[in-house]
Every structure is written in structure tokens, then in C-alpha cells.
Structure 1
Amino acid sequence: MRTSTIRNSLYATTLMFAFAAIPFGQVMAQDAGARMQQSSDNQTVPDKAADAWITTKVKSEFGTTKGISATNISVSTHDGVVTLSGTVSSQAEKERAERVAQLVKGVKSVDSSGLTIGGMPPTEK
């Protein structure tokens, strides 16, 4: 009888410590996750959402603008800076794509140095 009481007390104590440790583990995991997020990318969630919206809007504008082959142009955005890459048929199409992207709300600047004209490599600025 005495052995089972000691055993039950030992089980109860072990469970108590195990359940008490769970919140500490969660806090440590949250801290580690926050540090990893902060060190890998200083951009906030609203900033990322704004960049995603800008990218989508620029692609949409390309799709509805005559003289721009939207399927040949890749668009990415970081901190409001739109980067265009891919192939366009002429200098006029490249300039039109730059103008259309620049007119999208939230765009700070446009980098079109990655756009090539008809398969020619981009020119150095």
C-alpha cells in the first residue's frame, strides 16, 4: 500500500512539472521565432502586404494596357520599389511598362534594368 502511494505521488509530481514546463517552452519558441523573423527580414507584415498588392496591381495594369506583353514581364516589389525583368519587343514597350508601373499607387521607384529588348541583354546605366 505504501509503495503505490509513493508511486502515485511520484506520477502526480512528474505530471505537475511537465504541465508547468509547457508555457515556458511556448515562450521560448515564440522568442526564437521572433528573433529569426527579425534577423531574416526587417519588413513588417503590412509592408509585405503592400508590396504584394503593388506587384498584383502592376501585373494587372500590364494585362490591360495595349502595347505591353504582360506574359513576358516579371514583376517583384520590395519596400515599394518595383523591379521589372523579362523580355520586351522594343524600347517603346520598355518605357511604357516603366510608366505604367510608376503610376501605380504606392510605387516609390521602378527598376527596369532587368528588361531585355527582343533578346538583347540589358544595357548598363
Structure 2
Amino acid sequence: MKHINQLTMAAGLGLLLAAPLALANDPPRTDRQHDGHAMTHADRHDSNEPVTDTWITTKVKADLLTSSNVPGTEVKVETVNGVVSLSGTVANQAEHDKAVTTARGIKGVQRVDASALRVAPMASR
């Protein structure tokens, strides 16, 4: 039951965090560009706009919450000048590594600092 509640919470949080970003960053819905060529999926979603620290933090947290083998609710995410800091506690090194890999995969991330992300088995938490 706890697992289902965490998944429900993660999905809800992900939708709440992503909705304003999707509305703010989605270009007008047209099938053609000004030069008459059809727009591709990538054309509609790529942007030359700079990625903000807030966007990076939101995206990392959402991806952690929806990733398997990462306790997204246990990992705190902060971003300053593209440097993502992860803190909190995970159950094992695999969860730690997955959290770092997930954060590194986000557009705009310059570096990931996981020095405050502790590995502690469930029994010792």
C-alpha cells in the first residue's frame, strides 16, 4: 500500500510541476513553419531559451519520482548555476548511482554534487 501511495504522490507531483512548464514553454500549435515546411516533433519542443535552475530542479525531481529503483521522495534536489546538489538518504549504492545518473541526464545540468546523498540501509534509517 505504501508503494502505491508513493507512486500516486509521485505521479501527481510530476503533473503539478510539469503543467506550468508545459504551458509556458510550448510554442503555438501550428502544422507549418513560416517557410512552408512542416514542423517536426523536435521543432515544437526544442528551444533556444536558456534552461533555468528552477526548471532543472523541477525536471530532476520529477524524473527521480518516476524512476524505478530511486526513492524520489527521499532525495532533496537544489540547483545553483546549473550545479545540481542531491541530498538525503538512499538504501544502497545502486540507488545513489541511479539518482546521480538521472540528474546528469537533464538538459542544462553542468555538474552533479551528491556528496550529501547518504547511503544507509533501511534497517539503519
Structure 2 counterpart of 1:87, from 89, 109, 124: 89
- The alpha carbon displacement at 1:117 in A equals 0.7
Match of 1:73 in 2: 75
Structure 1: which 5+ runs fail to align?
1-45, 120-125
Normalising by structure 1, we get a TM-score of 0.55
Q: What residue identity is the alignment partner of 1:87?
A: T
Distance in 1 of aligned mates of 2:77 and 2:90: 13
- Kindly report which structure 2 residues correspond to 1:113-124, keeping only aligned pairs within 5 A, or say none: 113-118=115-120
Structure 2: which 5+ runs fail to align?
1-48
Q: Number of paired residues?
A: 73
Q: Secondary structure at the match of 1:105?
A: coil
Normalising by structure 2, we get a TM-score of 0.55
Q: Secondary structure at the match of 1:115?
A: strand
Q: Secondary structure at the match of 2:52?
A: helix
Q: What residue identity is the alignment partner of 1:114?
A: A
Q: Which runs of 4+ in 1 moved over 6 A?
A: none
Q: Which of structures 1 and 2 has the bigger CA Rg? A: 1
| 2:65 matches 1:63 | yes
Match of 1:54 in 2: 56
Calculate percent identity across the aligned residue pairs: 44
